[in-house]
Amino acid sequence: MSSLLSSSIGKKLLMGLSGLFLILFLLIHLAINSLMLVPDGGETFNAAAHFMITNPIIKVTEPLLAIGFLVHIIYGFMLTIQNRKARGKDRYASGNKTSGVTWASQNMLILGITLLAFLILHLAHYWVKIKITGDPLLDPVMVNLAGVETMVDNAYALVNTSFGYLWIVIVYAVAGIGLALHLSHGFWSAFQTVGFSNNIWRKRLTAIGQIYAWFVGLGFSLIAVLQYLFYQG
């Protein structure tokens, strides 16, 4: 096992597997976020958020998610440092005129660092407030959970209020596009790295990857913009 993880392909396997895990997570995250668009003053969203916080399965997967992020970020930096070393100090004076290589595939680290900066801001905005410090906006409200009136944190108020600030909406919208670009290469690349690709599946995976990437990325952006435009006050 140790020799696997010290090999180039082993390290990339970790990168690919953690990437696939995060791809799955993003789908669930987007599904929950989309409930913010239900025009009931956030009752559905609060119920879903409450379910996500209290659900025992989530309690187990939350640390797993943190590990997934950490592995992906740490190995991303580690592999890039190795790759720069392998490339050597000398650059081509005549530049790089290879055609047909996507911009995203060559800038995964830059896109990743952008997303990391966003992630820190994002966690400070919500996760820290919900899990640690608390916030007056979170004051519990009554929601109907499967027929039972329950007191839950008003997560919707916290999110809704922050999406009232234009700069936050712009940051989220831009991060959504950055995420789409990162995923537009990351999706098929993860499958290729774990060995699940050939000439036929490559076409399928890149197509599915593009659809997934822009659906998820623009989905997050759109929810933030719609919250700003139509869900205030």
Partner 1 sequence: MEKNINITLKVWRQKNAREKGRFETYQVKDVSTGSSFLEMMDILNEQLINEGNEPVAFDHDCREGICGMCSLYINGRPHGPDDGVTTCQLHMRKFKDGDTIWIEPWRSAGFPVIKDLIVDRTAFDKIIASGGYVSVNTGGVPDANAIPIPKPDADEAMDAASCIGCGACVAACKNGSAMLFVSAKVSQLALLPQGKVEAARRAKNMVAKMDELGFGNCTNTGACEVECPKGISVAHIARLNREFLKAKVQD
Q: Which residues bind partner 1 (CB under 8 A)?
A: 3-4, 7-13, 79, 82-83, 85-88, 90-102, 105-106, 108, 185, 188-189, 192-199, 202
Q: Count the neighbouring beta carbons within 10 Å of the beta carbon of residue 175.
A: 21
Shortest approach of partner 1 to residue 13 CB, angstroms? 7
User: Closer CB to partner 1, residue 86 or residue 132?
Assistant: 86
Residue 93 to residue 177: CA distance in whole angstroms: 32
Contact by Cβ (8 Å): 52, 58: yes
59-72 exposure pattern, b = at least 16 Cβ within 10 A, e = fewer: eeeeeeeeebbebb
Residue 11 C-beta: closest distance to partner 1, Å: 7
- Pick 59 or 84: Cβ nearer partner 1: 84
Which residue lies nearer to partner 1 by CB, 63 or 100?
100
Closer to partner 1 by Cβ: residue 133 or 199: 199
Is the distance from CB of 208 to CB of 187 less than 8 angstroms?
A: yes
Tell the smallest beta-carbon distance from residue 106 to partner 1 (Å). 6
Smallest CA-to-CA distance from 178 within 95, 232, 119 is with 119
CB 184 → partner 1: shortest distance, Å?
12
Q: Enumerate the β-bridge partners of residue 145.
A: 148
